[in-house]
Structure 1
Amino acid sequence: MHQKILIIGLVWPESQSSAAGSRMMQLVKLFLESGMEVVFGSAAQRSDFSDVLDLPGLSTQQLLLNDSSFDDFVTALHPDIVLFDRFISEEQFGWRVAAHCQQALRILDTEDLHCLRLARQLAVKQQRDFTIDDLFSDTAKREISSILRCDLSLIISEYEMQLLQKTFKIDPILLYYLPFLPDVVEGNTWPGYKERSGFMFIGNFYHEPNKDAVRYLKEQVWPAVRVKMPEAVLFVYGAYLPAMIQQMHDPKTGFIIAGRAVSAEEAIKSAKVMLAPLRFGAGMKGKLLEAMICGTPTITTSIGAEGMPYQNLWNGFITDDVMEFADFAVKLYEDAELWTVAQSQGTVILKGKFDKSIYEKDFLNHIYFIINNLKEHRRNNFIGSVLLYDAFSATKYMSRWIEEKNKNNYKH
């Protein structure tokens, strides 16, 4: 069945800079391989690091915010499916899609639950434990509204599937569990234990959990590691480094701020152990999945590993205690046998939980089923229609007011 899908991105994907960019490119390739025609549009400016979107069957469109040119574009395109890459994209363009392409299936790729990440961030900032009450924020109201307005939302973690159903009482018919779908290469191409050296961390520093993790590494974890391993070296890689992180560079203590990696894969493969003490966040952590793909054992927190272990296995250690974290780091680094076991457990997790063949066919069949039963599907989500009618009236008129204002500004 030949389908046309429009993907609306808040930003142009950067798969070498962020897990969100990798996730988006995985979805693009999945749709292309299924025979769909894919159009990717965004109102953002492209950066030097944006992925080159020139695959067969894929075209791009520069979009304008608060501009009726989108109405003409989407009407002419007449997509069968429209996918929004975050709830903010759905807020910006969803009402226009609903007005001009009523029969298009609307899918939200949540990336991670923003309300969960921000609630956990607030608790860490206030130096207290996270509670369920923290979830019920204005961000949650916006995000849950967006999920309800869409026909289907893609959820990357089983923990978030449970949270949405049990805490926010979202009907399971509106949710679909779809984890990362990486291209996995057989492990015989990995450098061995003796060919690797150093600890490493990698992350996009637009992302607050990564800034906090490096600060925590610098202040708490790394000093404890250096007591046990005075010659230890940690390389911190990442895109969009703020001055605060750059200033942590200190070769004397083995704390090296290496900046953007030319190849994230090579940087991860060359290290012996990845340290990822993430104290808040949501979704699934791309760096930890990438480490498994590269055969690099990891030490992380319960939040870092959330939704990722398979049969209670991990490719290293999971702990929320700083001294344990440091102990595990040294142990995993120095014990070749333990390191090899950790690496092999990563392979088991990849095959059991992240094999594309487990998910792709069922996911596409599910999409086609909803398309063929869209009227009934929407009738079963009447509250979504109410939110679309109500909330978007305000969004629509605000957007049109901005559009008129912009037109008037250009005249002067």
Structure 2
Amino acid sequence: MSVNQKVLIIGFVWPEPNSSAAGGRMVQLISIFKQQGFEVTFASPAMDSDYMIDLNSLGISKKSITLNCSSFDVFVKELNPTIVLFDRFMMEEQFGWRVAENCPDALRLLDTEDLHCLRLARQKAFKENRPFSTDDLLVEDVAKREIASILRCDVSLMIAEYEMELLQSVFKIDIDLLYYLPLLLEPITVSTIQNLPSFEERNNFVFIGNFLHEPNWNAVQYLKETIWPLVRKQMPEAVLHIYGAYPSQKVLQLHQPKQGFYIMGRADSAQEVVQNGRVMLAPLRFGAGIKGKLLEAMQCGTPSVTTSIGAESMCGDLPWNGFIADDPQIFAYKAVELYQDKTIWLKAQENGFEIMEKLYLKSVFENDFVQHILKIQTHLKQYRLNNFMGTLLQHHTLTSTKYMSRWIEEKNK
């Protein structure tokens, strides 16, 4: 396709790669488009933040947009993008119908990040102290919105294979509408591995995660109340450093140096704090998607102990970069074993390098992804005819959301 490709990304927030895996993911997608020579504009209704990436320095146009305002229609018509990427389903809900109306020929991509409905349904089941069932998804309100959004888009980017399977088995989504694109990594070189701190040079347990993300906050509470006392029973001198962006007062109150439990707040360099830790602890009890913190631990050569939810969709058939345990006693026991036994630790580290090499190399996915979207663009009309449910939802959304939005706009005047 010789068309000069213009990509418009509509962001839920401005990308903060140092604050969350979602921010890192967005920067990866931008870099794929830039490497292809595509012209990229990033627009968001969010407020600027102190930690957002400098988009202009990456050669990307930055545009602030307003919800429920026809100024967006003027902007998007003038820009006339060939590809529009919605960052999470909420942005597609807000702006998808405007894109469809003003730029009907633009390919509409949805980056799901993780399945929000899966994360929320698991969270509800957890809070209600009962096992999660896939039937929970069918009664989850967010699922109705998220699935509608997936159907209205031409392609939805998925980072977890388990979620692709769920969408097909539970919601009967056509596989043609889904595309597997995990978090992407550069190959880890021998010299990088050699330059990582050794077993002896590292100390302390570490946890890292954005505190605005409920699974992270819950994991820290679980560490504090249940797991850490079990670790300290076996290792009275053990120290755990908890890092994360946006810690609230609730989080800061957990800081108890006498128990070796340190709330460190935002890390200036996530990579630095993770690679200086000897073992990462991530006892996630609900959540979805691929866990950026666990992939980062592998990159830093830091073995981890996590739960089956934490490791879900992350290592295929390969052995984990440490241990997977859902029982708190076993979790604590394995954490101490991994911390104290160099042989086990080195093997776990090696497993992490193998997982990265076999499942996450950017070079394996990048070109296929670009070819896939270019191919769809060449027969977009026929492709959309095959997705009748999507067309149906687009029709009704255009009508209902459009008039609701117009009403809000009038009201705001």
TM range (shorter): over 0.9
Q: Give the Å deviation of 1:56.
A: 4.8
Task: Give the aligned partner of residue 391 of structure 1.
Answer: 397
Task: Give the aligned partner of residue 166 of structure 1.
Answer: 169
SS at 1:360's partner residue? helix
Task: Give the aligned partner of residue 84 of structure 1.
Answer: 86
Does the 8 A contact of 2:318 with 2:355 survive in 1?
Answer: no
Task: Give the aligned partner of residue 303 of structure 1.
Answer: 309
Query: Which amino acid is 1:403 matched to?
Result: E
Q: Give the Å deviation of 1:90.
A: 0.2
2:328 equivalent among 298, 322, 330: 322
Structure-2 separation of matches of 1:391 and 1:59: 29
Structure-1 separation of matches of 2:393 and 2:316: 38
Structure-2 separation of matches of 1:300 and 1:194: 22
SS at 1:304's partner residue? helix
SS at 1:153's partner residue? strand
Unaligned runs of 5+ in 2: none
Is residue 112 of structure 1 aligned with residue 114 of structure 2? yes
Task: Give the aligned partner of residue 201 of structure 1.
Answer: 207
Query: Which amino acid is 2:15 matched to?
Result: P
Is residue 374 of structure 1 aligned with residue 380 of structure 2? yes
The CA RMSD measured in Å over matched residues stands at 0.9
1:203-248: CA deviations, max 9, x gaps? 0011000010000000111000000000000000001111111111
Is residue 155 of structure 1 aligned with residue 158 of structure 2? yes
Does the 8 A contact of 2:185 with 2:356 survive in 1?
Answer: no
Structure-1 separation of matches of 2:230 and 2:147: 41
Structure-1 separation of matches of 2:58 and 2:315: 35
Task: Give the aligned partner of residue 268 of structure 2.
Answer: 262
1:189 equivalent among 186, 195, 198: 195
Moved over 3 A (4+): none
Is residue 145 of structure 1 aligned with residue 148 of structure 2? yes
Does the 8 A contact of 1:3 with 1:36 survive in 2?
Answer: yes
Q: Give the Å deviation of 1:184.
A: 4.5
Does the 8 A contact of 2:97 with 2:397 survive in 1?
Answer: no
1:301-336: CA deviations, max 9, x gaps? 000001101433111001111111000000000001
Q: What aligned pairs does 1:3-402 form with structure 2 within 5 A after superposition?
A: 3-136=5-138, 137-186=140-189, 187-402=193-408
Number of paired residues?
407
Structure-2 separation of matches of 1:227 and 1:317: 20
Structure-2 separation of matches of 1:31 and 1:194: 41
SS at 1:82's partner residue? strand
Structure-1 separation of matches of 2:40 and 2:397: 29
Structure-1 separation of matches of 2:175 and 2:31: 26
Structure-1 separation of matches of 2:188 and 2:5: 30
Q: Give the Å deviation of 1:185.
A: 4.0
Unaligned runs of 5+ in 1: 408-412
Query: Which amino acid is 2:24 matched to?
Result: S
Structure-2 separation of matches of 1:400 and 1:8: 20
Structure-1 separation of matches of 2:116 and 2:59: 31
What fraction of aligned residue pairs are identical, expressed as a percent?
59
SS at 1:128's partner residue? coil
Relative to the length of structure 1, the TM-score reads: 0.97
SS at 1:200's partner residue? strand
Query: Which amino acid is 1:304 matched to?
Result: G
Structure-1 separation of matches of 2:245 and 2:360: 25
SS at 1:44's partner residue? coil
Q: Give the Å deviation of 1:146.
A: 0.1
Does the 8 A contact of 1:268 with 1:274 survive in 2?
Answer: yes
